[in-house]
Amino acid sequence: MGVCDRNRMRRLYKRWDTPQSVFGDVAVLVFIVVQCLDGAFTYLGVTFWGPGIEANPLVSSAVATAGLGAGLALAKLVAMGFGILLHLFRVHNLVALLAAIYIAAAIIPWTALFLSQ
């Protein structure tokens, strides 16, 4: 096994040895909760106003292909999986930023739309 291979292997397992980050744990937890809220709000919004209300083309395509429940669940599970993967690679600032973006771009607009009706 060469030096390069050993460094790659160290990189794979060293990540698990680092001490826990409370910030990272909170960031990924908030990210997952926001994804669940967005999924619930999207489900309600599409049920009330039809599929044209969804602005995300990836989610719209998944819903059109697999149906509302399955397509939305698949899209949200993929997003949560990537968020957890970022957390495992200790990219906590990005997870927190993505959670904040989702709150600003999805949760607040859905909430305003529901409250206006």
In a domain, 5, yes or no: no
Q: Residue 14 has what pLDDT?
A: 47
Res 45: pLDDT: 97
The reply to whether 3 falls in a domain is no
Q: Is residue 12 part of a domain?
A: no
- 15 domain residue, yes or no: no
What pLDDT tens digit does each residue of the chain (117 aa) get? Answer: 566 666 665 555 545 456 788 999 999 999 999 999 999 999 999 999 999 999 999 999 999 999 999 999 999 999 999 999 999 998 999 999 999 999 999 999 999 999 998
> What range does the domain containing 48 cover?
20-116
In a domain? residue 8: no
Please count the structural domains in the chain.
1
- Do the beta carbons of residue 72 and residue 61 sit within 8 Å? no
Asked if residue 69 lies in contact with residue 43, where contact means CB atoms within 8 angstroms, the answer is yes
73 inside domain: yes
Is 74 contained in some domain? yes
- Helices marked H in the chain — which ranges? 3-17, 22-49, 57-66, 68-88, 92-102, 108-116
Q: How many CB atoms lie within 10 A of CB 14?
A: 10
* Contact yes or no for 58/75 (Cβ under 8 A): yes
**Residue 10 placed within a domain:** no
